[in-house]
Amino acid sequence: MVFGRSKPSSSTPSPEASTSSASAAACSELRAAYHECFNRWYADKFAKGQWNKDDCAADWHKYRACLEEHLEDKHLRQILLESETSPSYAQLDPNSSSRQGSAPSK
Amino acid sequence: MVVYTQEHVYRHPWDRVTAAAWRKFTDPASRTALSHVADVHTLQRRVDTDAGRLHAARSITVRSPPLPFILRRLLPAAAASPSGAAICHCVETSVVDAPRRAMDIVVRNVSLRGIIEVEERSTFRPHPDRPDDWTQFRQETTIRCRPLAKLAAVAEKVETRCAERFLQNSAKGREVVERICRYLEAEAAGAAPSAV
């Protein structure tokens, strides 16, 4: 179990069913609302040249607040919490050492 | 280390293909095809309304294929499951530059980095021959096992197995994007089928 409120109570790892985590369950409706808004806005406006307005900011803030409360995995939490403070997350090459050619190599 | 590249031409315009790419993991009808994906969350997003740029980071929680016993013993308890598969979090960072019609995606694992590092870089661009009708997709995947000297032979097997699995999943991902493109095309034509 990687995220979720309930810790495994015994030494046996949780079954695979538990991968639909508590954070997913708690935030699923807000996530669905955000996705619906985003998918429509992206397809109908942003990708077609109307990028002057972000239609889904309100839905995103609600969804994000829920994740902030329920997301437990520490790596993912760190990324979530960075979002409002650091504008640098968007860089695609934080530790890029991999600019090799294409063919399989050693 | 294993590096491989793939290319694909979508016979759909860039805006439709990238819209489909966003839906790939969240579309309910894709769950069966992409059954290795357990969960997806958006962790960061920013829209630059002046420059027409969209930045986003999503977590993608995946189930690995069953691992060899010797590697299972190396897994942190949190990542292990009884079947010998591992639960692994990846982070997907995307940048869409709408004026340039460019979408760049990088996926990296954040779990299990002590054992394996996977990086998948993808780009979607208008196809040079038919920029308004077709979209060129390119993907480069790098898989690197950490140097566990005594396990070098096992590590090599794992790299190969991961590479095979990534290729399979990548092909499934393209099929899903193709299907969503057809759905969006029908929807735009005012005749959206009730089921995707």
Q: Is the pLDDT of residue A103 over 50?
A: no
| Type of residue at A75 | H
Q: Which whole number is the average pLDDT over B161-182?
A: 83
Q: Give contacts of A100 with chain B, Cβ < 8 Å.
A: 3, 142
Asked if residue A12 has pLDDT above 50, the reply is no
Whole-number pLDDT of residue B8: 96
Residues contacting A13, CB < 8 A, separation 6+: A1, B77, B78, B80, B81, B82
Res B71 pLDDT > 70? no
A47 touches chain B (CB under 8 A): yes
Query: According to the model, what pLDDT value does residue B84 have?
Result: 66
Beta strands B2-10 and B37-48 are unpaired
| Minimum distance, in Å, between the CA of residue B29 and any CA atom of chain A | 14
Q: Which residues have CB under 8 Å from A37's CB, separation 6+?
A: A55, A56, A59
Cβ pair B93:A92 closer than 8 A: yes
User: Which one of B5, B49, B91 has the shortest CB-CB distance to A102?
Assistant: B5
Burial of B122 (0-12, 13-18, 19+ CB in 10 A): buried
DSSP state of B191: -
Residue B65: pLDDT band with limits 50, 70, 90: low
- Cα dist. A82→A11, A98, B62, B152 in Å? 33, 25, 23, 36
Residue B58 has what pLDDT? 93
Mean pLDDT (chain A) is 70
Domains of chain B and any CATH numbers: 1-187 (3.30.530.20)
**Which one of A15, A51, A54 has the shortest CB-CB distance to B98?**
A51
* Residues from chain B contacting residue A23 (CB–CB below 8 Å): 41
Minimal C-alpha gap between B178 and chain A (Å): 15
Residue A91 has pLDDT above 50, yes or no: no
CB atoms closer than 10 angstroms to residue B114: 11
Hey, what are B101's tokens?
Answer: 């019609």
ipTM of the complex: 0.82
The answer, for A45 touching chain B at a CB cutoff of 8 Å, is: no
Residue type at B62 in one-letter notation:
V
* CA A90 distance to own-chain centroid: 14
In order, the DSSP letters of B6-43 are EEEEESS-HHHHHHHHHHTTT-GGGTTTTTTEEEEEEE
pLDDT of res. B114: 76
Question: Is B162 a residue whose pLDDT tops 60?
Answer: yes
- pLDDT bin (cut points 50, 70, 90) of residue A56 is very high
For the segment B34-63, what is each residue's pLDDT rounded down to a tens digit?
877 878 999 999 999 999 999 999 998 887
More confident residue, B169 or B134: B134
Token pair listed for B123: 């780009």
From the list B3, B4, B19, the residue facing A43 with the nearest CB is: B19
Interchain pair A67, B119: CB under 8 A: no
Which residues in chain B (5-44) have CB-CB distances under 8 A to chain A?
5, 14-16, 18-19, 22-23, 26, 38-39, 41-44
Q: Which residue has the higher pLDDT, B171 or A53?
A: A53
Q: Mean pLDDT: which of A87-91, B30-34, B125-129 is highest?
A: B125-129
Q: Which two tokens stand for residue B35?
A: 């059954």
Contact B57 A43 (CB under 8 A): no
Reported as a single tens digit per residue, the pLDDT across B127-144 is 999 999 999 999 999 988
- Strands, sheet with B37-48, edge to edge from the N-terminal-most edge strand: B2-10, B135-145, B116-126, B102-109, B87-97, B53-63, B37-48
Chain B positions touching A101 (Cβ under 8 A) are 3
CA–CA dist B46, B53 (Å, integer): 8
A82 with B44: Cβ contact below 8 A: yes
Q: Which of B19-23, B157-161, B170-174 has the highest mean pLDDT?
A: B19-23
**CB distance A49–B98 less than 8 Å?**
yes
Q: Which residue has the higher pLDDT, B90 or B65?
A: B90
Chain B residues in contact with A66 (beta carbon < 8 A): none
Between the CA of residue B96 and those of B52, B148, B163, what are the distances in Å?
Answer: 8, 38, 27
Residue A10 is predicted with a pLDDT of 37
pTM of the model: 0.77
pLDDT, mean of residues B68-89: 65
Sign of the dihedral defined by the CA atoms of residues A90, B100, B171, B45, in that order: positive
pLDDT at B75 over 90: no
Residues of A in contact with B77 (CB under 8 A): 11, 13
Q: What distance in Å separates residue A19's CA from the closest CA in chain B?
A: 6
Q: Which two tokens stand for residue B32?
A: 């069966």
Q: Which chain B residue's Cα is nearest to A2?
A: B78
Rounded mean pLDDT, A56-64: 95
CA distance B128 to B33: 30
Of B12-26, B40-54, B150-164, which range is least confident? Answer: B150-164
